[in-house]
Amino acid sequence: MKGILFKSDMIKAIVEGRKTVTRRVMKPQPLAKCQYGEHIFEGKIIDWIGYKHEGKTAFYCRKCGDGLKLIDEWSGHGRLPKYQVGDTVYIKEAICRIPKIYDETTGYHTEAIYRLDSSFVTGVNWCWKRDILTGMFLSEALARYFIEILDVKVQRLQEITEDEAIVEGVKEYEPDDFPICGATYGLYKDRFSHLWNSINKPPYDWQSNPWVWVYSFKLADKGAENVK
């Protein structure tokens, strides 16, 4: 199963139901310009029987064909997003091992604690030499939360609307908050741009306005039994 990395506050937003969308940089980026105007990406299901990507959805520019990958002289398909509709993906988060604890009934066992909310998990098969594991290296076996991909689309980063920024899980604003003088976008979009830049650096920062995969998802029931 594939994993996906989120910042701690975004994991909290997912669990609370405030985040149901995530944007990820498309790599490599499309050509800077479409010869027929702005790129318009659309997805097509690969229906070649027996092909390794059969049934997956691939995206390409319907104007110029940017993103098409030729398989042979007759056929090709577009860019494949990392996550497909229907995929269940586990959320990666940081965890720390606690030294082995002795129990008179069960003997020695290993416990670990999740950094997000200090929740414990017991009976851990800790196969790493280090005591602290960043989210990047979390295995599926230790995952607590899973998401199901509901939709995938392609857009430019700055095309995000206020409503779309809200479901990205950015912090709610208070009544006393006000837009920055001269800003051309709203509070949620502004906060999302700062969140984006805290994760992504040039040439994929907000100002560079990269093309992104837009994944809509829901928190899946799978893995709920792992939550302590």
Report the alpha-carbon distance of residue 225 to residue 228 in Å, rounded. 8
Q: For 132, phi and psi rounded to 5 degrees? A: -110, 130
Q: Where are the alpha helices (DSSP H) in 66-224?
A: 162-166, 187-199
Report the alpha-carbon distance of residue 206 to residue 210 in Å, rounded. 8
Provide the pLDDT for residue 87: 98
Q: What is the mean pLDDT of the chain?
A: 88
Report the alpha-carbon distance of residue 207 to residue 210 in Å, rounded. 8
Distances (CA, A) of 65 to 60, 143, 175: 6, 39, 47
Residues 20, 167 contacting (CB under 8 angstroms): yes
pLDDT tens, residue by residue, 37-90: 889 999 999 988 888 899 999 999 999 999 887 665 556 789 999 999 999 999
> Does pLDDT of 107 surpass 70?
no
State percent of the chain over pLDDT 70: 85
**pTM for this prediction:** 0.86
183 Cβ contact list (under 8 Å, min separation 6): 190
Residues 163, 186 contacting (CB under 8 angstroms): no
